[in-house]
Amino acid sequence: MGAIDHLAIETLGADDACDGLALSGEARWNQNEADWRFFLTRGTVFGIRDGDGHLIATAALLPYSSGNAWISMVLVTQSWRRRGLATKLLDTCLDAAAKQGVTAWLDATPAGATVYGPLGFAPTLELRRLRFAGSATAPELASDGNLDEMIARDRHAMGFDRSALLRELSRRSGSQLISHGSAMALIRGGRTARHIGPLFADDAGSATALVETIAQSETGPILIDVVSEHDELLMNLTNSGWSIERPFQRMRFGRATIQNAEPPIAVAGPEYG
């Protein structure tokens, strides 16, 4: 740990979006510059630079309502990994969460979960990330969803309000709100793929029909992070050409703040919850 003791942690600003994007791009994550700017302006992003001033590690704490916050963008550049930088930044996020009196959540990769568990994070639900290559023919899909309805459904599903996030995501260039029967989803752009989520539906059939409608309207790759308990939807998607890319483990640090919440069919993304 001595090799990193001299490296100071700083709070990053909006001008650091491109440096953050370089880190997530190196890790082959899907976040784009708009995602980074949201974290840098709506949350607190902690960073560490090397002796030459290059950003080498980050971690973000994004506050939501009702005493909840999301930890994400935990990144370390390749040449500085396995030296304790991620743990150092995670501890900083947890200290900030404690001072704010909020419960911290995160969606961890399998490797990350092995680190976060011993630190006191408790597992909750699991996610499965699926990828679709895109359709050869892509008829135009018109937005027909109602943002206020999505915000209400998201509040019911998450147990707290994320209206600022959903309004910002929906206003981005290329974003769409699509509905089909009881199902509704937000589609937005990413660095390398479009992303579906959050997605709400009363049943697997409606969710499947909506996702397939979206898939046939996209020529490029698409990602969706499905709550793993929705076995029928996962089976339907894999049978229609989607591939499971990786799992995520949702984890919580601190007291439970959510009562009787019903998670969405698919989430907004591991960076947002």
What are the tens digits of pLDDT across the range 189-212? Answer: 999 999 999 999 999 999 999 999
2 has pLDDT over 60: no
135 has pLDDT over 90: no
49 has pLDDT over 90: yes
pLDDT of residue 111: 86
Using one digit for the tens of pLDDT, what is the confidence trace for 94-131?
A: 999 999 999 999 999 998 898 899 999 999 999 999 99
pLDDT of residue 95: 97
Q: Would you give the distance in Å from CA 157 to the centre of its chain?
A: 16
Domains of the chain, CATH where assigned: 2-101 (3.40.630.30), 127-253 (3.40.630.90)
**What pTM was computed for the model?**
0.93
pLDDT of residue 134: 85
Mean pLDDT of all residues in 66-89: 95
pLDDT of residue 257: 78
